[in-house]
């Protein structure tokens, strides 16, 4: 059974009367998350007409005055990525033309983040292209969560706030009172993320899975660097896509003697055949957040979804009040 949890992140819940210039709108990608953020802020989502024409073109109309307002647009660019990205660009353009004072694109999941550099000749750096599109559409600022590559922040020539889902995941893990934890990075590239995670779990030991990738979405796991025998292994990643890497890692951890294996990730991309792989019993629990909506058909017994709405809502309020965002994670 899927369990949901909304974990408190901060204490500065804003009074409604101070929201006179704050406006929050949602694209179609994750309306439930946007509604939760609105509840945290003590306000309603702004009224907006959103529809498609017969040829697939997207139409957006803001249905209240936003002249001189600080507008926040909640839209993860998850599957279908191109549709949700285009919808975000149109929302930004509509707000710019309606004379909004500041437009912040709130992107809980940043699509195309893995195309952040050239790995072969004649490739596009699509993460940079998306940054250019969002900036040129008229966004004043971007708020995103757990980028696949932190360097993407540098692709933007506008202010960028990067927040992390780890406080929500960590609070949940701590509440489970697990013993003999070892935090495992599924690849060398995720070591910094796993090390930061382990530090917050009372400096838990760290292990690394050495992996050789042969093609896109295909990974071959080789060996484990570190001691996992008899321990509770917590695999930590920013996202679970097809689940090939994390499942091969779990099998290897079991083979090396891990007593229990948990998977933690901020973004539940869950491209086929992820659900089939994750629900085979390899994991005691697969813990993700709701940055991306997971349809009921893609939910399974071991899945736990946690809400990042409070964290996003607190970040939005701090940006609106010109307060520190980084202090939330210290």
Residues annotated as part of the active site: 211
Q: Which residues of 41-80 are buried (b: 16+ CB within 10 A; e: fewer)?
A: bebebbebebeeeeeeebebebeeebeebbbbbbbbbbbe
Name residue, tokens 């899927």: 2
Q: Which residues of 193-220 are buried (b: 16+ CB within 10 A; e: fewer)?
A: bbeebbebbeebebbbbebeeeeeeebe
Q: Using the 8-state DSSP alphabet, how is residue 18 labeled?
A: G
Distance separating the N- and C-terminal Cα atoms of the chain: 33
Residue 126 CB burial class (10 angstroms; 0-12, 13-18, ≥19): middle
Cα separation, 76 vs 14, whole angstroms: 24
In the chain, alpha helices (H): 31-41, 81-97, 126-137, 166-176, 191-200, 244-255, 274-278, 309-320
């Amino acid at each position: 059974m899927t369990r949901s949890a909304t974990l408190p992140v901060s204490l500065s819940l804003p009074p409604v009367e101070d929201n006179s210039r704050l406006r929050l709108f949602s694209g179609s990608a994750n309306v439930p998350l946007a509604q939760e953020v609105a509840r945290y802020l003590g306000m309603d989502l702004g009224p907006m007409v959103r529809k498609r024409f017969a040829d697939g073109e997207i139409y957006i109309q803001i249905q209240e005055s936003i002249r001189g307002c600080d507008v926040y647009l909640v839209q993860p660019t998850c599957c279908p990525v191109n549709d949700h990205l285009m919808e975000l660009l149109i929302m930004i353009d509509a707000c710019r033309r309606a004379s909004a004072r500041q437009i912040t694109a709130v992107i809980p999941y940043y699509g195309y983040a893995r195309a952040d550099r050239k790995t072969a000749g004649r490739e596009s750096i699509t993460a940079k292209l998306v940054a250019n599109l969002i900036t040129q559409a008229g966004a004043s600022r971007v708020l995103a969560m757990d980028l696949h590559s932190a360097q993407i922040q540098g692709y933007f020539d506008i202010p960028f706030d990067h927040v992390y889902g780890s406080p929500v995941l960590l609070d949940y893990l701590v509440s489970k009172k697990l013993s003999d934890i070892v935090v495992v990075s599924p690849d060398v590239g995720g070591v910094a993320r796993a090390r930061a995670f382990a530090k917050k779990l009372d400096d838990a030991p760290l292990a690394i899975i050495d992996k050789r990738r042969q093609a896109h979405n295909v990974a071959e796991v080789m060996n484990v660097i570190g001691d996992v025998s008899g321990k509770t292994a917590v695999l930590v990643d920013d996202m679970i896509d097809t689940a090939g890497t994390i499942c091969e890692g779990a099998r290897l951890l079991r083979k090396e003697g891990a007593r229990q294996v948990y998977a933690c990730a901020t973004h539940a991309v869950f491209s086929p055949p992820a659900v089939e792989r994750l629900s085979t019993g390899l994991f005691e629990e697969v813990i993700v957040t709701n940055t991306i909506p997971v349809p009921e058909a893609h939910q399974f017994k071991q899945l736990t979804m946690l809400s990042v709405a409070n964290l996003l809502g607190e970040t939005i309020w701090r940006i609106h009040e010109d307060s520190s965002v980084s202090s939330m994670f210290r």
